[in-house]
Amino acid sequence: MEVLPLVRCEYLVAIVETETEPKRPTHPSPPRIVAALNARAPYWQPQLVVLAAILLGLALPERLTIGPTWLLPSVEALLLVGLSIAGTHPRARYSRLRRQLAIALIGLVSVVNAVSLGLLSHFLLHGGKEGGRQLIFSGVALWGTNVLLFALWFFELDRGGPIARALGPERNPDFMFVQMADGARFSAPDWKPRMTDYLYTSFTNATAFSPTDTMPLTAAAKWLMTGQALISLTTVVLIVARAVNILA
């Protein structure tokens, strides 16, 4: 019986390992309409998230808002329209001023949501049992707004924000996604998180009250996720549970 040389055996083992190793996938091409939107307005996804948060604010009753129900959402909508128009111009879409205005808009919506949460908590604790069903819907709207807003904060924080991720050199990430881990053979080599990934991270953190599969790496990311978990816990435990008791 002929014995194969050692070099030949190693060569055959290398061929077998190469054939059995799964190929790394590549990013699928987006649909035409998505590709056209990305080319025309690269920030349309976070802008859509901001619009959803504004619409949820309009669903709140007037006793849970600052001034008339339409006032602050109208101001937020005007800022959003201005940012959307600026995003269509190549010179303005990557300007530092535009990013500062975008962060200011997210901050404004976050402050309004926090005030509404405080007013709802005060009403539940001191306002009696009136309007229990409306309180449930308000609590759900505030919880959903919390998910949307923190997804935007994660989007603006990670690696210095979307402008730094698009133009600047590679920076250390603030979040460790599963696709970025060593040995993640089922993601594209050039994989980068998108708005959907930050929405998923925000949703899972708001429901589990802690990180799930995406880990915060920096102090800022940890503080953001901690703040979101506290707000979500307050909304679910204090507001929704209290409203259910009122209905009962």
Q: Tell me: the pLDDT tens digits for 37-92?
A: 666 667 888 888 988 988 888 888 888 887 778 777 888 888 788 777 776 776 76
The whole-number average pLDDT for the span 148-153 is 92
Decide: pTM greater than 0.85. no
42: which 2 tokens? 């690269």
CA torsion through residues 116, 119, 121, 124, sign? negative
- Residue 21 reports pLDDT greater than 50: no
Segment 171-177 long-range contacts (CB within 8 Å, at least 24 positions apart): 172/217, 172/218, 173/217, 174/216, 174/217, 174/218, 174/220, 174/221, 175/201, 175/214, 175/215, 175/216, 175/217, 175/221, 176/214, 176/215, 176/216, 176/217, 177/201, 177/213, 177/214
DSSP state of 180: G
Question: Considering the chain, what is the average pLDDT of its residues?
Answer: 78
| Residue 88, amino acid | T
**pLDDT tens column, 176-211:** 998 887 766 777 777 888 899 999 999 999 998 888
Q: Where are the domains of the chain?
A: 40-247
